[in-house]
Chain A
Amino acid sequence: MRCPARAHIAYAVWLHTQDGFGWTNGVALWLLERYAQSFARELREDGELGDLANQ
């Protein structure tokens, strides 16, 4: 199952190749590998998922 939070930030996979600030993207992805479920739950509770809430 796709995690909306992961999808929301994972555009960074592409950005990682685009310039020198892959570290922000890389760290975000590394953290999402470990905490995606709790982060998604937090976003849902905070109402910050926006259009992705129904994915």
Chain B
Amino acid sequence: MTALTVAAQPDRDASLRPVPWRGMAWVTWRQHRVTLISLLAVFGALAVFLWLAGLKIHHNYAVLTACHPFTSTACQALNNTFNHADWTLANILGILMQLVPALIGAFAGAPVLARELETGTFRYVWTQGFGRARFAIAKLVLLAVAVTAVAWAFSQVFSWFFRPFLAQEDLSVLSGTVFDTRGIAFAAWTLTAFAIGVFLGTLFRRIVPAIAVTLGGYLGLSLATWWLRAHYPVALVTSNPSISGNGPINVNDPWVLNTWFTGPGGKPANPAVVNQVLALFPTHGAPLVKETMAQAFAQRGITQWWRYIPVSRFWPMQFIEAGWLLVLSALLIAGTVWLVRRRAA
């Protein structure tokens, strides 16, 4: 064969500029536009549905609260409609909301890099001049921001839709299934689910196992968080009996975590005496004495204490929850990038 000239000079350009980041915006959009468009379409349609249904529910609620006297047949009929037809829909939607982050994590997060690894296209894309770690960082950050923004917007619509039921259905904004669909918690959970999916997809290099484990992992994490939330350092302690919430449950009732008794001088109370007092106030039926429970305890030198989280701590709790979820997501994405750098072909 003919003699060949030697290839162009080796790249002695010491200031080898990296390929500009901006190219990744188009690359990410082109590679994931089907996912992103479907995500927007599904959430857009759901938001419109929530808005239309919400208008009706807010109207029903306004009519119901304005209805006097409450015991009249007309008012009871309204109450019935609201607590059955409307609440059934809201309750189902509330349960589905719990699943949304898990579904996004599994079906939008897990395939992001697993598909590249499964189909072998990583051999193309990781050998381009852009560099594989930068590729993973750019793509994951862009997708994470998009997914989180969509989730945040959607959770605002849902919170508005759900608002009338808080008072009506004995729920508080601190209730387990309400707290994580409001504020910034829902967006944070969606981000974390996405990061879990991405990480597991890269770890397993297969989409289907990654989807399964993402769903399971998310479920475990969210169940563990119900327990964890009671331990956020926002709880207060009081011996003021108004906390115990006699009478109708209110939206603004605090979340009582636990209660205990102390005897004279702050020593632990005698359980026999405590039980004796409690027996005077049966769960069903009228009390056996004229005093209130607090008075009955006070007469015997016993103080009842409550540890509780007031509704006013909603935002500190939201920031705590969103904060650790954000840290966890960042760690998962960093772990994914580490796997991408280390991963053997």
Are A and B physically bound partners? no
The interface of chain A, by Cβ under 8 A from chain B, is none
Q: Which residues of B contact A (CB under 8 A)?
A: none
